[in-house]
Structure 1
Amino acid sequence: MGASRRAFLSQLGRKKGFQVEDSFSDCVTHVISENNSRDEVQQWLKSQHKDHMSVKLLDISWFTESMRAACPVEILDKHKLQDVQEQKEESVEFLIPSYACQRRTSLENHNASFTDALSLLAENAELNNEEGRAVAFRRAAAVLKAFPVKVTSTAQLRGLPCLGEHSQRVIKDIIENGVSSEAESTMHSERFKALKLLTGIFGVGAKTADRWFKEGIRSLTQLVNSGHELKRDQQAGLEHYYDLNQGKITGHDVDFLITHPDEGKEVGLMPKVVSWLTAQGFLLYQKTTRNSYLEKEDGPAQPSSNMDRFERCLSIFKLEKPEMKIDKKWRAVRVDLVVSPMSQFAFAVLGWTGSKLFERELRRWAGQVKSMSLSSHALYDNKQCKYLRATSEEEIFAHLGLEYIPPLERNA
């Protein structure tokens, strides 16, 4: 470990309340080392001519984890320095496929500190309309979500896909210092906090939030007092802001996919459903758009303009919460109602099930690997110049030459 790095980590430890000695002495209880074997450290301790038998010899990972916890964490086997032979035996490389749609990703995440930082940087890039950077961070985070063990060394990242230089710098920073300085700086920046708040309003996108930010708007109160004439969905989103954002990390709350077993009879279902919900007092807000999808014999239009054109109702539901003892016994919940013809239903289910990145990667795999065009409506084989029909998600995965991944493992 270099002198400047040791000085930085020592200062960090002292700020967290640890007693850090600059040289070895009888009061030292833990010796922290980086990129050294147990034999090497023991040889060094012997050269100090002091009793070292009771000293714990630990890897830098124990120190960084303790920094994150702001207290000494439990010493596990993985934290103890190993002999050279043990290090070689435990150096296992994990093969992670390049496309997220090839990987099973459950909600069990061994690397949340890394994925949280990368996801935050991705969100910041999205708020600044930097789609390329956002996707790069999302892909890097997805790889670490699927990694089967906790990352404690950059050596474990060797050979992994989708980890660009920027993402690797973020990961290295967290391994060495416990946090990403870039992510911390971003999270506490005035711009990020304001844009995150404003885009949390239903109906407000990044461009609108950016315009308001440039006008000096930083809070909901300032927005209300600004005199801006809000659209109907934005008015509803502002009115029910705290309900819609309470305890929610991303996305809205519920999607309903509606179909009819007889092709064509799904037409007219949406008005009936909306009318019934209105009569029951469920709807605080709703806006319905018609189905504009048209299947062309010579193949679909550009994927970006043809991804999802189902008849849809964007709504805010009023759901009772009888267990609440305060005056307000209900909460507002975002709900999307989507009507699909039976012939497209399997594609609709697949398109609405899984993380945004997983769906993006499915389409990327289809185009780049299989020369196909996939949307929430259909799958078209560009080589055979024909649509590939399917009545289940499993059939679609088979058409794409992919192992079927169930919905609970599409959390890329």
Structure 2
Amino acid sequence: MSLVPQKRSRPSLPVGPTRDGMESTKFPDIGLFLVERKMGSSRRSFLTALARRKGFCVEEAYSERVTHVIAEHNSGAEVMQWLVGQPAKREEGRSPILLHISWFTECMAAGEPVKIEPRHLLEVQMHSDVAVSSLVATYGCLRRTPLTNRNHVFTDALETLAKEAAFCGSEGRSLAFIRAASVLRSLPSTLTTMEELSRMPGFGEHSKRVVQEILEDGSSAEVERVTQEERYQTMKLFTNIFGVGIKTANKWYQEGLRSIGDLRNSQKKLKLTKQQETGLQHYEDLTMPVSHTEADLIAKMVEEVAHRFLPGTIITLAGGFRRGKLSGHDVDILITHPQEGREEGLLSKVISQLQSQGLILYHSLKRNSYYDASSPGGKSTSSMDHFEGSFSIFKLKGLSQSRDNGARVHSTDSGRDWKAVRVDLVVTPISQYPFALLGWTGSKHFERELRRFSSHEKKMVLNSHALYDTVQQTFLAATSEEDIFMHLGLEYIPPSDRNA
């Protein structure tokens, strides 16, 4: 069935210049209607004016002349429910196409109507698991994935196999398991049959076998075997140490080391880096979950010091906490200032002040290397993060006075009121802040999929600094995360739904 509505007779439209200087209507067979609900009147007015300048006919009210209904942050069911209540009568079989904002933004960029792809359509989902499963988007960045996971029994198994594959150096196999788990994590209901799985993207035969085994037997024999293996348990233990990667963990395993005690007893012989030495010293603290309250305390601590040196500094808690998680393993904080360039030199002052207060157990400063690259404009278009930053371990004090949801904030033992916490401080110029905020919010897989979509579908390079159009050979400016999604022709997905 064609996705383009058939031509039909319509009242004549102006063909010459309009009184207010807008372009004439170039596309008389298309009538756009922008749904104000969730879009807002100001944005709707702006987009209406933009479309008319491009030669599109935009109807102020829903009527029989409307061929394309454009919505933002609305589901197809919500739009249909709204349309049913409208007074306009339409001929049978003359229903408009329901589209989300991505089609509209692509039309504005092209200056003409673009082909309607399935990804542009606002599907009206039926109340059945099969109907929902058939609408799962291929890219993880196109799916809304809340924290609530109704398929954790499957995702836990697949993520275990992903970790084991990574320990064996098979990144491709690891990513395949991660993609399969990401699809299941996004589902609004629990998977119950293999028939539902057949309509979902991202599932190889291995992942399907694991899911089928769990559906039939309640568990996967392969996953059970992996979790009992000595190598898997040891690699998982060692890679949880701050500063220890897979290669180092594997080397220690090959040398016969199996526990934290083994590492501490062999510490001098191992010649640990300062980072690894500190990570081993505070291992128990650093593997203890960090609560949202503790993360807020650290952000407030950084903010107070930053404001002493530079009033107006913006401190943002990023990572999983920005996505709504109640706990995590570290704290990510972005630092910027409304005036471009004022943030330079601030980080070293903040770290020095916190050190003088005895609140830094370890830190490693990294300078900004963004403009060192030889790419267009002297800016890097790689996926690497080039921000000035500090990878630190903070000494969080006063835990006995702090409370999290009515309970005491975690303490490591009864003899002290502080704990070691992993903290990453990242400094970004305000012009790069929207990209940094997007990149450092995560999840890791959501960001990976967003970069993949940008490259494969839009011929653009996205990283935590910028969005580069390789066709037009230009960097696209953004003042918010919403701008970045709009450049990519995507519906904006809030942080709470980026837990892919």
In which range does the TM-score fall when normalised by the shorter chain?
Answer: 0.7 to 0.9
Aligned partners of 2:150, 2:472: CA distance in 1, in Å?
A: 43
Contact 2:164 2:232 (C-alpha < 8 Å) held by counterparts: yes
Cα displacement string for residues 213-254 of structure 1 (whole angstroms, at most 9, x for unaligned residues): 011111111112222111101011001101111247997421
- SS of the counterpart of 1:303? coil
Question: Could you say if the C-alpha distance between residues 258 and 298 of structure 1 is closer, same or farther in structure 2, counting changes exceeding 3 Å?
Answer: closer
379, 382, 403: which one pairs with 1:303? 382
Within the alignment, does 1:165 sit opposite 2:205 as a pair? yes
Of 396, 409, 422, the residue aligned with 1:319 is 396
CA distance in structure 2 between the partners assigned to 1:265 and 1:125 by the alignment: 45
The aligned amino acid for 2:376 is E
SS at match of 1:369: helix
1:302 Cα deviation after fit: 5.9
Matching residue within 250, 256, 279 for 1:210: 250
Using the alignment, how far apart are the partners of 1:117 and 1:328 within structure 2?
38
Task: Give the TM-score of the pair, scaled to structure 1.
Answer: 0.75
Residue pair 2:381, 2:462 contacting (<8 A) in 1 also: no
Instruction: Choose from 387, 390, 399 the match for 2:475.
Output: 387
User: What is the correspondence of 1:199-348 to structure 2 with a 5 Å cutoff?
Assistant: 199-226=239-266, 227-247=269-289, 252-294=329-371, 296-297=375-376, 301=380, 303-304=382-383, 307-320=384-397, 321-322=399-400, 326-348=414-436
Q: C-alpha separation between the residues in 2 aligned to 1:128 and 1:184?
A: 17
Identity across the alignment (%): 52
Distance in 1, Cα, partners of 2:176 & 2:264: 36
Which of these residues, 222, 226, 247, is aligned with residue 182 of structure 1? 222
**1:99–1:117: structure 2 CA closer, same or farther, 3 Å change rule?**
same
Distance 1:244 1:395 in 2: 36
- 1:105 matched to 2:145? The reply is yes
C-alpha spacing 1:163/1:220, structure 2 compared with 1 (3 Å)? same
Q: CA deviation at 1:91?
A: 5.0
Q: CA RMSD in A?
A: 2.0
The answer to whether the 8 Å contact 1:299/1:380 transfers is: no
Structure 1 residues 90 and 312: CA distance shift in structure 2, 3 A: closer
- Supply the distance in 2 between the matched residues of 1:117 and 1:384 (Cα, whole angstroms): 44
| Structure 2 residue identity aligned to 1:230 | L
**Residues 36-115 of structure 1 aligned to structure 2 (within 5 Å):** 92-94=131-133, 95-115=135-155
The superposition leaves residues 284-310 of structure 1 with CA deviations (integer Å, 9 ceiling, x where unpaired) of: 111101001126436855624xx2010
Contact kept in structure 1, 2:179 and 2:202, CA below 8 Å: yes
Distance in 1 of aligned mates of 2:184 and 2:378: 36
| Cα pair distance change 1:350/1:125, threshold 3 Å | same
Structure 2 counterpart of 1:139, from 155, 179, 184: 179
CA distance in 2, matches of 1:110, 1:326: 37
Asked if the contact 1:252/1:335 (under 8 Å) is kept, the reply is no
SS state at 1:313 partner: strand
Structure 2 stretches of 5 or more lacking a match? Answer: 1-127, 291-319, 321-326, 401-407
CA displacement at 1:92 relative to structure 2? 3.7
C-alpha separation between the residues in 2 aligned to 1:365 and 1:408?
20
Does the CA contact (< 8 Å) of 2:331 and 2:422 recur in 1? yes
Residue 4 of structure 2: aligned partner: none
TM norm structure 2: 0.62
Separation in structure 2 between the aligned mates of residue 141 and residue 366 of structure 1, nearest angstrom: 22
Secondary structure of 1:257 counterpart? strand
Deviates further, 91-100 or 391-400: 91-100
Distance, in Å, in 1 between the alignment partners of 2:377 and 2:456 is: 19
Measure, in 2, the Cα distance between the counterparts of 1:278 and 1:91: 57
User: How far has the Cα of 1:343 moved from its partner?
Assistant: 0.8
* 8 Å CA contact 2:288, 2:329 repeated in 1: no
User: 1:120-131 residue pairs with structure 2 within 5 A?
Assistant: 120-131=160-171
Secondary structure class of the residue paired with 1:343: coil
Tell me, in whole angstroms, the C-alpha distance in 1 between the residues paired with 2:470 and 2:165.
33
Alpha-carbon distance in 1 for matches of 2:444, 2:473: 28
- Judge conservation of contact 1:299–1:385 (CA < 8 Å) in 2: no
Q: Is this contact kept in 1: 2:341–2:429, CA < 8 A?
A: yes
Q: 1:279 to 1:402 in 2, by over 3 A?
A: same
Q: Which residue of 2 aligns with 1:411?
A: 499
One-letter amino acid matched to 1:279: S
Paired residues, what number? 323
Contact 1:350–1:376 (Cα < 8 Å) also in 2? yes
CA deviation digits over 1:371-400, x for unaligned, max 9? 000000000001111000101100001001
> What secondary structure sits across from 1:246 in the alignment?
coil
> Matched residue of 1:98: which SS?
coil
Q: Which amino acid is the alignment partner of residue 231 of structure 2?
A: R
Distance 1:299-1:145 versus aligned 2 partners, 3 A rule: farther
**SS in structure 1 opposite 2:415?**
coil
Q: Structure 2: how far apart are the matches of 1:93 and 1:395?
A: 29
Deviation sequence 1:141-191 (CA, Å, 0-9, x none): 000011121111101112200011111011001001101111111111100
Q: Equivalent residue of 1:159, what SS?
A: coil
SS of alignment partner, residue 195 of structure 1: helix
Q: How far does residue 266 in structure 1 lie from its aligned partner after superposition?
A: 1.1
Tell me if the contact between 1:104 and 1:405 (Cα under 8 Å) persists in the aligned partners. yes
Structure 1 consecutive aligned stretches of length 4 or more whose deviation exceeds 2 Å: 89-94, 247-252, 295-304
1:367 aligns with 2:455: yes
CA distance in 2: counterparts of 1:196 and 1:126, whole angstroms: 11
| CA spacing shift, 1:302–1:346, aligned 2, 3 Å | closer
| SS of corresponding position for 1:204 | coil
Partner-residue secondary structure (3-state), 1:336: strand
- 1:305-334 alpha-carbon deviations (Å, 9 max, x no partner): xx2010010001111212557112111110
Contact 2:210 2:220 in 1 (8 A): yes
Kindly report which structure 2 residues correspond to 1:1-16, keeping only aligned pairs within 5 A, or say none.
Answer: none
Q: Is the 8 A contact 2:365 2:391 kept in 1?
A: yes
